[in-house]
């Protein structure tokens, strides 16, 4: 019985040792393997040699447990957006929102890790964006940021791309997506628009008066020409227009007096009127 008990204990010890050995082996295997997903690369830090210059691409790879550690970099293009308040050449404040698409230079990942770490873009992009935007905006007046928008955007893009390369960051796109002026400039623009509208209205009134004046001159010239033609026509007939109007007025007065009961009919007057030249 004692021998059987000793054998059982010995067997259990062997099983336990084997289980521990298997566990240690699995732990060693797991700690010596790491996986790099698509669109990523790894930088290896060695406790003896430091950061290894050669990077590791996609797939599963081996390393020395406890002596080496992988740091994963996302090498795909990623968007970043930030807002900066700048001052223009004519001392106006403007708030500009900038959006950039960035990615690291794959050949310089070890250098980026040594100097900036894995959060390199958060540390660098806002700083150099602030520097470049303020320098470029200071070259333009406030209204030129709109009227010369293509030139302004191109200048920001070129300078920011060149500045980012100093930190081994590649910029695939740089865009100004929002631009807001300060209250003082916005009020000045509104006042200028109102003044321009008033000037346009005044110009319209002046043009209208000139047209009315020209129409009056043309109308007066027409009436003068018509009177001249009438005068010439009556003169050629041997009787002036004034004499004709007198005769017509006398005939109307005589007819009115004849119809009135308070006026004595005078045949001689009627005969005299009827006997005038041109009377019917």
Task: Encode pLDDT of 57-78 as tens digits.
Answer: 888 888 888 888 999 999 999 9
CB 52 within 8 Å of CB 16: no
Q: Which residue has the tokens 């060695």?
A: 46
pLDDT of residue 15: 65
Q: Which residue has the tokens 């043009």?
A: 207
Q: Would you place residue 278 in the very low, low, confident or very high pLDDT band (cuts 50, 70, 90)?
A: very low
Q: Would you place residue 137 in the very low, low, confident or very high pLDDT band (cuts 50, 70, 90)?
A: very high
Q: Is the pLDDT of residue 27 over 70?
A: no
pLDDT of residue 280: 46
User: Which whole number is the average pLDDT over 23-30?
Assistant: 53
With H, G, I as helix, E, B as strand and everything else as coil, classify residue 278. coil
Q: Is the pLDDT of residue 16 over 70?
A: no
User: Which whole number is the average pLDDT over 93-110?
Assistant: 93
Lowest-pLDDT range of 88-92, 154-158, 254-258: 254-258
Q: Whole-angstrom Cα distance, residue 11 to residue 49?
A: 45
Q: Is the pLDDT of residue 279 over 50?
A: no
pLDDT of residue 101: 95
Q: Whole-angstrom Cα distance, residue 168 to residue 274?
A: 120
Q: Whole-angstrom Cα distance, residue 39 to residue 77?
A: 9
User: Which whole number is the average pLDDT over 81-88?
Assistant: 91
β-sheet bridge partners, residue 181: 94
pLDDT of residue 217: 79
Q: Whole-angstrom Cα distance, residue 64 to residue 33?
A: 9
Q: Would you place residue 262 in the very low, low, confident or very high pLDDT band (cuts 50, 70, 90)?
A: low
CA dihedral 225, 228, 234, 237 (to 10 degrees): -90
Q: CA neighbours within 13 Å on the CB side: how many for 247?
A: 15
Lowest-pLDDT range of 63-72, 78-87, 251-260: 251-260
Q: Whole-angstrom Cα distance, residue 127 to residue 148?
A: 25
Q: Whole-angstrom Cα distance, residue 243 to residue 241?
A: 6
Q: Whole-angstrom Cα distance, residue 216 to residue 204?
A: 18
Q: Is the pLDDT of residue 50 over 60?
A: yes
User: Which whole number is the average pLDDT over 136-141?
Assistant: 93
**Residue 273 zone, left/alpha/beta (φ > 0; ψ -120 to 50; rest):** alpha
CA dihedral 137, 142, 143, 147 (to 10 degrees): 10
CB 153 within 8 Å of CB 176: yes
pLDDT of residue 158: 95
Between the two ends of the chain, the Cα-to-Cα distance in Å is 175
CB 78 within 8 Å of CB 121: yes
Q: Is the pLDDT of residue 90 over 70?
A: yes
Q: Whole-angstrom Cα distance, residue 269 to residue 279?
A: 13
**Residue 61 zone, left/alpha/beta (φ > 0; ψ -120 to 50; rest):** beta
Q: Whole-angstrom Cα distance, residue 266 to residue 246?
A: 20
Write b or e for each residue in 101-124: b if 16 or more Cβ atoms lie within 10 A of its Cβ, otherwise e. ebbbeeebbbbbbeebeeebbeeb
Mind listing the pLDDT tens digit for each residue in 202-253? Answer: 787 888 888 888 888 787 777 777 667 766 666 655 555 566 667 777 777 7
Superfamily of domain 78-181: Band 7 domain (3.30.479.30)
Q: Would you place residue 181 in the very low, low, confident or very high pLDDT band (cuts 50, 70, 90)?
A: confident
User: Which whole number is the average pLDDT over 247-269?
Assistant: 65
Residue that wins the pLDDT comparison between 50 and 247: 50
Q: Is the pLDDT of residue 108 over 70?
A: yes
Q: Structure tokens of 123? A: 């540390």
């Amino acid at each position: 019985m004692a021998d059987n008990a000793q054998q059982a204990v010995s067997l259990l010890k062997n099983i336990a040792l084997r289980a521990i050995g298997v566990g240690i082996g699995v732990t060693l295997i797991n700690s010596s393997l790491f996986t790099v997903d698509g669109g990523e690369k790894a930088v290896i830090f060695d406790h003896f040699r430091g950061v290894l210059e050669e990077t590791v691409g996609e797939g599963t790879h081996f390393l020395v447990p406890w002596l080496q550690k992988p740091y994963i970099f996302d090498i795909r293009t990623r968007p970043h957006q930030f807002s900066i308040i700048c001052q223009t050449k004519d001392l106006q404040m403007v708030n500009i929102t900038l959006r950039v698409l960035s990615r690291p230079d794959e050949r310089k990942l070890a250098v980026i890790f040594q100097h900036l770490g894995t959060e390199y873009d958060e540390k660098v992009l806002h700083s150099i964006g602030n520097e470049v935007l303020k320098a470029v905006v200071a070259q333009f007046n406030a209204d030129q940021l709109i009227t010369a928008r293509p030139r302004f955007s191109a200048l920001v893009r070129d300078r920011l791309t060149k500045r980012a390369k100093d930190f081994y960051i590649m910029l695939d796109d740089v865009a100004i997506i929002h631009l807001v002026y300060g209250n003082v400039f916005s009020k000045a623009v509104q006042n200028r628009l109102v003044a321009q509208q008033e000037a346009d209205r005044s110009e319209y009134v002046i043009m209208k008066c000139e047209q009315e004046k020209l129409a009056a001159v043309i109308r007066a010239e027409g009436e003068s020409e018509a009177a001249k033609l009438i005068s010439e026509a009556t003169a050629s007939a041997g009787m002036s227009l004034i004499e004709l109007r007198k005769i017509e007025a006398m005939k109307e007065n005589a007819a009115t007096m004849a119809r009135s009961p308070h006026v004595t009919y005078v045949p001689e007057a009627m005969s005299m009127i009827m006997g005038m030249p041109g009377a019917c």
